Amino acid sequence: MSQRLRSRYARHPVRNARRIPRNIRKPNYRFLVALFFFTTIISGLASFAFQTPSLLVREVKISGVCLADKKSVQSAGELALGRNIILLRKSNIISRISSLPEVKEVNVDRRFPNKVWIFVTERRPDAILTDGRVCSMIQLDGLMFHRVSGPVRGIPTVQVARCDPICVGRISRSQNVQYALDALACARREKLAVTKISVDHVGDICLNMEDGFYVKLGQPDEIPRKMAILRSALVCKPSIGREAVYIDLSCPNAPVWKPKSVAGSAS
């Protein structure tokens, strides 16, 4: 054998043709038996829970309903009666109650074994909107959500001459209504006790204060500035509420007020 062949076989030795088998892991019979019994128990419990009459809803409690139609809320809650408390779909109840304009939020809570509680959170009115005939509770975003027979004590009244039809469940698109709500929001920021806001046919805004006098704001421009001036006047002269008939802020650069004594002597 030549030197070249010997060096070749030396670099590449012949491998052993016999392969050593790998170790095979034995199955864990204890684990498999435990898994079988665990699955069987869980399946039995689930079957019992879904079929037993003791988990059928027998009572529905409702709380938080004052303004919304109680019959409609009760009808929606009755959807849960007779159903398995575990399989109960709360979304159907929530969607039906949430469709009422007075409702802001609905929570449905399961009380095992067979009771359901429905918690209703209603909207809070920021004002009572009226066009002189119809009245409705309204939020600052313009949403009218509950019809009322007239002004409500403790809630400011917004009376607008040019007002779109008052329709519960819709947002008012009237520009004058929006002006009045903006003025109400500014009054709240300035912590002014306003009982009524009026907007006439030409858009002039007037405020009625708790002290018995009213404020002429004029056209709906520079409302935040006018409210700040009114706040400063009441802070600097607290008695102005008793002494004045009205304060005219139509021109914020030259505010004026009319004393009651002048009004009495003129009459």
Centre a 10 Å sphere on the Cβ of residue 69 and count the other Cβ atoms it contains: 13
- Under DSSP, the state recorded for 6 is H
φ/ψ of 22, rounded to 5, equals -75, 160
Number of structural domains found in the chain = 2
> Do 169 and 100 share a structural domain?
no
Q: Is residue 18 situated within a structural domain? A: no
258: closest CA among 247, 267, 266, 249? Answer: 247
> Do 247 and 145 share a structural domain?
yes
- Please give the Cα distance from 117 to 97 (Å, whole number): 13
Angle at 127 between CA 168 and CA 137, to 5 degrees: 20
Written as tens digits, the pLDDT of the chain (267 aa) is: 555 555 555 555 555 556 666 667 777 878 878 888 888 788 776 766 677 889 999 999 999 999 999 999 999 999 999 999 999 999 999 999 999 999 999 999 999 999 999 999 999 999 999 988 899 999 999 999 999 999 999 999 999 987 889 999 999 999 999 999 999 999 999 999 999 999 998 999 999 998 778 999 999 999 999 999 999 998 998 888 788 899 999 999 999 988 887 555 444
Indicate the residue among 63, 87, 122 that finishes a domain.
122
Instruction: State which residues form the domain around 190.
Output: 127-266
* Strand (E) or helix (H) holding 248: strand 244-248
> Do 152 and 80 share a structural domain?
no
> Do 172 and 68 share a structural domain?
no
> Do 196 and 242 share a structural domain?
yes
> Do 215 and 234 share a structural domain?
yes
Angle between helix axes 223-236 and 175-189 (nearest 10 degrees) is: 40
Q: Is residue 112 situated within a structural domain? A: yes
- Is residue 43 classed as helix, strand or coil in its secondary structure? helix
> Do 231 and 163 share a structural domain?
yes
